[in-house]
Amino acid sequence: MKYIAVLDTSIMSFNIGDQIIMESARKGLAPILNDAFVVNLPTHSPMFHWWEFSFKRNDSLSQNLSKLDLKFVCGTNLLEKNMKKRKNTWNLHMMDTHYIKDVVLVGVGTDKLDKIENKYTEKLYKRILSHEYIHSTRDEKTKELLESMGFKAINTGCPTLWGLDKTVCEQIPTTKSEKVIFTITDYTPNLEKDKKMLDILFDNYKEVFCWIQGSQDVEYLQKMNLKDKNIQYISPSLAAYNEFLEREKTCDYVGTRLHGGIKAMQKLHRAIIIGVDNRAYDMHKSYNLNYISRENIEDLEDMINKPINTDIKIDINKINEFLGQFISYE
């Protein structure tokens, strides 16, 4: 029996998008995880406490962790240019590498990152990440970053995209529905542009639904003074969103939440993703999302009303090359 650690990017996250990533990552890794003993470790909060490092290396924690055959960390904007900062997406410190090493990245991306800023950050990544296995990245930029540090990497895309092959994409409608579900993003606010997006949706759809993906999205939405608008809210959980998408067979998605849009595509809904940061742009550039920058929000109405094909450019051979390190495809 194999012992595997999954570093879970949804633990202690206030963004349900991380749950969407983990749901897809576990599905993609299922052939590896199904017959293994799996332990879940956090990334957003510390894996260990300082006092655990004071015990002898033969304590029970060290013994259990030494059994691990594989360690995977799944998705999101995990790699950063300066890990000396007080707060990072991956709550990782050099002491952690006493217990955890040889971690394999699964569809991981970066923030606005072109190069590593300091030697500490590069040393930390070189101690925590596997030098044996090929890492899976979310986009080409992240692949190039890893290669610049001497790691082997392949651009498989985010695990949320892995199932969006040609057969699935061809089932997604090309023309506008009468209903739409939208998302907004509290941590990259632009009241003027986001209000314009909502005005366009109310002008072009008969029914408008909202799904709250982030913990502060409601407060941000309230700043837009939409009391006269009939918005139907979906409960802020992944289960509720999945249930809605399965029930409402003909409903478009338009919104600024990248993984809210990808989840809609997984459920065969036409999706237009409004880019508010580098993530959507980087993935669009690599994988051909139906994408529009928020800076060009005035073009949204035309995009909504014209036929659009969903044609995600996933390379299944690259995904199989990555997974094939751990399982056989014979």
pTM over 0.75: yes
CB 92 within 8 A of CB 128: yes
Token output for 210: 């909202």
pLDDT of residue 50: 60
The DSSP bridge partners found for residue 111 are none
pLDDT of residue 328: 61
pLDDT of residue 7: 96
Cα 16-22-27 angle, rounded to 5 deg: 135
Token output for 79: 């790699």
SS3 at position 272: strand
> Count H helices, E strands: the chain?
13, 14
Residues in the chain: 330
Taking the chain (330 residues) in consecutive chunks of 10 residues, what is each chunk's mean pLDDT? 95 95 98 95 84 58 84 92 86 88 96 83 96 96 94 97 97 98 97 98 98 96 91 97 98 98 99 94 92 98 98 96 81
Q: CA 9: distance to chain centroid?
A: 9
- Closest alpha carbon to 259 in 10, 30, 44, 8: 10
Domains of the chain: 3-162+316-323 (3.40.50), 166-305 (3.40.50.2000)
CB 217 within 8 A of CB 187: no
pLDDT of residue 62: 74
pLDDT of residue 64: 81
